[in-house]
Structure 1
């Protein structure tokens, strides 16, 4: 038994060695095949080159930029009041319709005043009699027919009677509600026969052209504001319309809680679209107009290490070696020969891009000002730059352009 075991050991070792050698050969073949495949794929990809990318472009050009201070404000009428009666009474008639434009002095609402008018007529008759008596006393005094005391008494009675008549006339006038200025009235809820107490609001009257717009700006912007400066006002209700005006006044003090200063602008409102209480956005011109190279904000790749844009150049991208580094320049003869061969064989894109670091300035709407890095006339990639790198060939398609408005408005579908 022991002799059989001893004789079997060399055979087991031989089999184990054969298995290990076979496994090692298989692993070697597998590794070699994968390495060879990777090399061949790399060579194939290098021979293919960078595929062209489709982008949209825009030519960099100068635009005029007007610096301004932005704020939000509220519309206030130049003349506005809630009208009420000084006396109580029953409504006799409503002489206007709700929402009508009225003139100064136009009758709006009238209270029942028959008793007051009758009393007025009686007092006016008493005043007329007192005047006749006073005139007679004056004539008689001239011929010494009456005493001076009688004449003074008759003149005092005349003035008293005239004052009583004037007081009653004022009471009658209070029974008629008139427009104190021209404007547009609101909704009238009073009806004939309704009893109205003293001080109850009957109707509101607002003058709508022009209007005031009240807003605030930080104290740091106070030196940029001037009385008479231009103002542009927009409202959400009228997205495509801007209302022009001028700064008419500023508060003489700054709010201690907000450190803002109040500003009043007078805005023309010929169509009477702006109404008191409306929320508005205000842009006040400050300083002189500046000229900046202007691009859409979508053309800029923002990054912590620097903002960049892609400049489009004509021709083929510069040649590079296997590591992506530029190759050394060829001699003039070789360059001409290679250029001629390339012109015969080149049927691909005729443009490529180069990434450039830029210094940005202020922004407005969809636009951004470029202070340095590019020059006027440079063709800049406006969209599609996320798939680009230096030397990437591009196909230009400008059928669709990104937004490029200095004052964009939301689009409602």
Structure 2
């Protein structure tokens, strides 16, 4: 019996010692892991960064406008008649006075020959009456009658010439013609359209600005006009007229700019975006728009500071979150009114995954190329 008690006691003691040994081993392992965790520091995050720079920007105003011809009309028939000749090609350039359409004037020409003969006879009678009057062989009344008859005959001939001229339709000014709207043999009515005629160079762009912008612009200011018909091209011009009145419904003032258009890239009726360049410039702190972390409580950026690592003693780059006030944007850049200084470096990509105090390494190999006038491949 005693032997069994001794064996049991030794077994219990052995089990306790084993448990204590295992527990001690685990405690040592946990302490070692804790020490390693305390000593561990995560590797620096790779970021792209850009310095805060100061640039002088042009002060500009933007507006949407419409292209209009300096001179543009719909050429029509002033008198009714049959189309006898079409002397133009649709879309061609013509000079002032070029023949466009000839209506039938055969009847008027016949009448004109008769009227010219009557006018010639009346002039001869007038000359004879003057000669006889000088010899006192006729009365003053006879001379007056002959003079009036000569004038009436000349007026009748001039009236027929005017009718022939109205039926001979010519270009009122130089420009480019539109599509042909008539055919040979067609009977035209008074005012019926024949084609359009537009002066293409120079050309107007009309646009409107709010009345509070009126004091900022003046005749002679430079404008740049863009249109989706011009691809990436900008056409420069000058403000040539500002309307004296303000629209009471919209409180906008109408403005007109004149542009050179020798290549005829702009056409009347086109939509255009107008940029008015003001004389003065503004100096701004600018950063790429991709650097900004937008939030309801305020916009911020991560500034890269140089700081000494307390454990290793080495200098490293550490992030600091800085709240800023933004100004106007242009292209891929945004101006900063407060919160940053020239020369500070800000993270330009991935700000949403960063946190203050994080160590970083700057690698700009894949940094986005920010531009003031970006030109996307697919726009």
TM normalised by structure 1 equals 0.78
Q: Is the CA contact 1:224–1:287 (under 8 Å) kept in the aligned structure 2?
A: no
Q: Is the CA contact 1:68–1:286 (under 8 Å) kept in the aligned structure 2?
A: yes
Residue equivalent to 1:88: 80
Q: Does 1:160 align with 2:152?
A: yes
Q: Is the CA contact 1:296–1:403 (under 8 Å) kept in the aligned structure 2?
A: no
Q: Secondary structure at the match of 2:48?
A: strand
Residue equivalent to 2:359: 393
Shift of 1:374: 2.9
Q: Does 1:60 align with 2:52?
A: yes
Deviations 1:178-221 (A, max 9, x none): 11111111111312112211111110111111222221111222
Instruction: State the alpha-carbon separation in 1 of the partners of residues 65 and 376 from structure 2.
Output: 20
Instruction: State the alpha-carbon separation in 2 of the partners of residues 66 and 200 from structure 1.
Output: 50
Shift of 1:279: 0.9
5+ long unaligned stretches in structure 2: 1-22
Residue equivalent to 1:10: none
Residue equivalent to 1:319: 309
Shift of 1:40: 7.4
Q: Is the CA contact 2:221–2:279 (under 8 Å) kept in the aligned structure 1?
A: no
Instruction: State the alpha-carbon separation in 1 of the partners of residues 294 and 302 from structure 2.
Output: 12
RMSD over aligned CA atoms reads: 2.7
Instruction: State the alpha-carbon separation in 1 of the partners of residues 124 and 349 from structure 2.
Output: 96
Q: Does 1:133 align with 2:125?
A: yes
Q: Is the CA contact 1:101–1:185 (under 8 Å) kept in the aligned structure 2?
A: yes
Q: Does 1:361 align with 2:327?
A: yes
Q: Does 1:384 align with 2:344?
A: no
Residue equivalent to 1:372: 338
Instruction: State the alpha-carbon separation in 2 of the partners of residues 56 and 307 from structure 1.
Output: 19
5+ long unaligned stretches in structure 1: 1-28, 322-337, 344-349
Instruction: State the alpha-carbon separation in 2 of the partners of residues 407 and 167 from structure 1.
Output: 63
Q: Secondary structure at the match of 1:238?
A: coil
1:204 to 196, 199, 215: 196
Shift of 1:111: 1.2
Q: Secondary structure at the match of 2:370?
A: coil
Q: 1:58 to 1:173 in 2, by over 3 A?
A: same
2:109 to 77, 98, 117: 117
Deviations 1:4-45 (A, max 9, x none): xxxxxxxxxxxxxxxxxxxxxxxxx9xxx9xx97x8777555
Q: 1:384 to 1:153 in 2, by over 3 A?
A: same
Instruction: State the alpha-carbon separation in 1 of the partners of residues 129 and 289 from structure 2.
Output: 94
